[in-house]
Structure 1
Amino acid sequence: MSNEPFQNGYEQNVSSVFQKSVIELFERHLKAGSAYAPAAASVLTEVIKSSEEETIMGLEVQLKQAADAILKTAPMTAFVSLKASTELFLRFVIRTSLEFSDFEECKRRLIERGEYFKGRTEASRDKIAQVGERFIQDGSVILTHGNSRVVAAVFERAAKTKRFRVYVTESRPDGSGYSFAERLLSAGVSVTIILDSSVGFIMDQVDSVLVGAEGVAENGGIVNRIGSLQVALVASSYNKPVFVAVESYKFSRIYPLRQRDLPCSDKYKEPWHPLLPEVTVSKGIQFENPASDFTPPSLISLLFTDLGVLTPAAVSDELIRLYQ
């Protein structure tokens, strides 16, 4: 009698337990305040440390399983950035494995590179703030959309030495613009919340647009919160520059040609009226609320990154370097 079904069932159970432990550790890092990419890097580094695999190939398989488990828990707005950062982590860490014949020495080196990668992700926000704040002039007016932590860091750093105003969109469907505005206000920034649909009305009053990104495509375009494309289109029609503050670990080897080519095609399934509780909707009405959209590179002026200030055209070259 073959024991193959039993063996397969055992392996699936072990894999399930492993993935569950990875997800629990990842969620603990998030609850502790870590951003998605540093949290993922921490978990993957911990997998290397605790792994009982005895070969590089086995360790690689385990790391890929852990990365897949992390991606399964990713919210719609973080999928692209997490996919890019985990792929970069695996590429950066594992490519050193051919340099050592001794497995233990190789494993020690992998842990070092994992810790280094994590440190880079954690330091990237401060580097971008240093780069981006130089483009905020005293007395300027800036429009932003979404709730990007790296954009907030740019504004907070600039607010220490300059006075400027920021228009913040509500950022539907979750209304995260309100929490973003509160954060800016606490940093001493003059802030005004506007409807997402007021962007065209406000654009002639602003000097520039600054947004974050969930991911950067190979051609230099960005995947970001739904509505970013509209903001960039309006800014372009008014000849206002569109700046993007984004970490290099969000550079991804995707090349969407249309909106539906995005790797995160999930949508908010329910109607969103968080500020209009009195609104009722008939059952026969359908909803389509995409979480993200793609802004092509032609609408983006510059990207503020931890690698420096880049044009959209320079992203493909940086991706080649990152994956070498």
Structure 2
Amino acid sequence: GVDFIGGYSALVQKGYTVGDRKLIASIPQALAKTSHVCASVNVGSTKAGIDMDAVKQMGEIITQCARLTKEDNCLGAAKLVVFCNAPEDNPFMAGAFHGVGEPDAVINVGVSGPGVVRAALAKAPKDAPMNDLADLIKRTAFKITRMGQLVGTAASRKLNIPFGIVDLSLAPTPAIGDSVAYILEEMGLETCGAYGTTACLAMLNDAVKKGGVMATSHVGGLSGAFIPVSEDAGMIAAAKSGVLTLEKLEAMTAVCSVGLDMIVVPGDTPSSILSGIIADEAAIGMVNSKTTAVRIIPAIGKSVGDELDFGGLLGKGPVMPVNMEDNSVFVNRGGRIPAPMQALKN
């Protein structure tokens, strides 16, 4: 696996600096010419609203990233993530960056353990009530996270660098069995994407956090369940069969970490449509005070039914159908979507 380097990043939720403009314009070239560098851009937040000029630009930048790396499975787009409410202590690539409030050096730990949770659930009776499953997930999450805490503490001592946070997120890997989709199916859904998926994911997420929080001294990052389609064997299968659609994934992101992650779309998808997808995800994050993100890969020269294979940890993804209704008038308006009301205290 490639050791990725993050932090080629811009925070433009409220507007651009001259440096931000230059950095964002250079992203396609930087990601095409290097194998390790990943980039992230934060285009919105609950406090600032959504910078629609940045949303429009990022649709175009993603398209350029894919085109410049079309000989390499459009890998450039897989190394770029567009955030709303980006956390500054996120250990997961491609969105990891060293936030402005962080010390010189810090150790943050991310946890991968969907396979362990699934194995625990597989032993539960098929008629066990949901609250029993929640308790089981809590106990399992505690054990996985405790491991992360111990590893982080040991590394911190050895390297004499402060220990930052443990990110509780369950991150899948392409290894068979290490899949968030399979956890949801273990709860009683024929395929991830069936009705009930969002409810199961909400419960999983909450139980993971409740178990994990007890096991660690400092929690941070994204702390939920990742649902990157190309990195999760169960998600790949569900997307291939057509049960898991972009619309269903968007609904699922309202209750879990991050967002539309490692989604492969037809290579001829217009940039304005990519921008619309980013805007919708950012809106979910902004209104719900949570981190949402889009990592979407236009597969140049491929269409629905084809597959893009990145190999390694990035896995492979079926090209998913996209609603091609024109939204360019909306995207071209630019400007800013105002921040939502936080509370009416009176």
- Give the number of the structure whose residues are more often helix, by fraction: 1
TM-score where L is the length of structure 1:
0.27
TM-score where L is the length of structure 2:
0.26
Q: Which has the larger radius of gyration?
A: 1
